[in-house]
Amino acid sequence: MKTITQDQAREILTLALATGGEFAEVFMEDTLYDTVEMTSGNITRSTTSHVKGAALRIIKDGMEINGSISDATFDKLTKLAQKLASTFTEKRIAEVEPFKEVKAGGQVKIKPNNSSIDPLKLLGEASQAAKDFSPEIVQVIGNFWRRHQNIQVFASDGTWAFDERCQTRLSLSAVASDGKNMQTISDSFGRNQGLEMFEGFDPVSFGRDIASSAVTMLHADEMVGGEMPVVIHNAFGGVILHEACGHSLEATSVAKGLSVFCGKLGQQI
């Protein structure tokens, strides 16, 4: 990925803080997205996108000013810093601290370009296993999605960090039909990992389980409406927790005292 030196980062951040900013940060990224769709064992869609560039933000009195560029050169970042800093008109109150490298916690063990594991072969095996489960399975659609991101961060508090991030997901949908009714069941297997997530993965069992659920649903009794208890599985509550609490815990709300959680530290919610 395109990057800048520590001296260049210090100069950019110094310009960003020239008009009274309390904190400034440069975020640089180089990200590849891959998506493949497989229908009935044939690849029907394949897309790749490449996102790269840099963003700069300045924080002052709880307000954040930010901008981004796709051509992350030193000259362009310098101009961006000056433009963002012009939002404020006060004197300098903060300096850029000496940079200290912050070690990232995660590690990608098997890179996306490693040929020892073929995710499309696994997707094909899962798709075929689902199709072969029952003649009532009339269609199988599979997807493989991957994001591979490299980032670098320089911040005025001295933070200097690199990170490599991989998100990988394989998903499958099976459609069961008896000629009159249809049921579709989907499932996915994904982790914040590289291709190492497929070590020990059984695509045949994965495909069969999805097909079995679709056939079971096809012949299941109709649900009786009414009030009923709801049980959230311990591996699938993240979205609900995020919508109920996550947004209110975001720093942009907490810093301004707008969150319902403000002042509640140590209290049961």
CATH number assigned to the domain comprising residue 198: 3.30.2290.10
Kindly give the pairing relationship between strand 182-191 and strand 159-177.
antiparallel
Residue 220: how many other CB atoms lie within 10 Å:
9
Q: Is residue 152 part of a domain?
A: yes
Give yes or no for a contact between 50 and 32, defined as CB atoms under 8 angstroms apart: yes
Which amino acid type is present at position 231? V
Q: Within this chain, do residues 158 and 243 fall inside the same structural domain, yes or no? A: no
Q: Is residue 1 part of a domain?
A: no
Question: For 187, which DSSP code?
Answer: E
Which amino acid type is present at position 21? G
Q: How far apart are alpha carbons 93 and 102 in whole angstroms? A: 25
Which amino acid type is present at position 28? M
Residue 14, helix vs strand vs coil: helix
Q: Within this chain, do residues 17 and 36 fall inside the same structural domain, yes or no? A: yes
Q: Within this chain, do residues 193 and 246 fall inside the same structural domain, yes or no? A: no
Q: Within this chain, do residues 70 and 103 fall inside the same structural domain, yes or no? A: yes
Q: Is residue 268 part of a domain?
A: no
Helices 74-85 & 6-16 angle (0-180, nearest 10): 20
Q: Within this chain, do residues 67 and 164 fall inside the same structural domain, yes or no? A: yes
Q: Within this chain, do residues 107 and 217 fall inside the same structural domain, yes or no? A: yes
Q: Within this chain, do residues 194 and 255 fall inside the same structural domain, yes or no? A: no
Q: Is residue 50 part of a domain?
A: yes
Q: Is residue 65 part of a domain?
A: yes
Q: Within this chain, do residues 93 and 187 fall inside the same structural domain, yes or no? A: yes
Q: Within this chain, do residues 251 and 139 fall inside the same structural domain, yes or no? A: no
- Which of 168, 166, 151 is closest to 35 using CA atoms? 168
Q: Is residue 187 part of a domain?
A: yes
Prediction pTM value: 0.80
Q: Report in angstroms the alpha-carbon separations of 243 from 208, 217, 238, 255.
A: 33, 29, 9, 19
Q: Is residue 226 part of a domain?
A: no
The residue segments making up the domain with residue 245 are: 232-263
Question: For every one of its 269 residues, what pLDDT tens digit does the chain have, with 9 covering 90 and above?
Answer: 778 999 999 999 999 999 999 999 999 999 999 999 999 889 999 999 999 999 999 999 988 999 999 999 999 999 999 999 999 999 999 999 999 999 887 788 998 887 789 999 999 999 999 999 999 999 999 999 999 999 999 999 999 999 999 999 999 999 999 999 999 999 999 999 999 999 999 999 999 999 999 999 999 998 888 998 888 777 667 788 888 888 888 887 888 888 888 988 899 87
Q: Within this chain, do residues 170 and 215 fall inside the same structural domain, yes or no? A: yes
pLDDT at 238: 79
Q: Is residue 130 part of a domain?
A: yes
**Domains held by the chain: number:** 2
Q: Within this chain, do residues 245 and 171 fall inside the same structural domain, yes or no? A: no
Give yes or no for a contact between 70 and 130, defined as CB atoms under 8 angstroms apart: no
Q: Within this chain, do residues 194 and 236 fall inside the same structural domain, yes or no? A: no
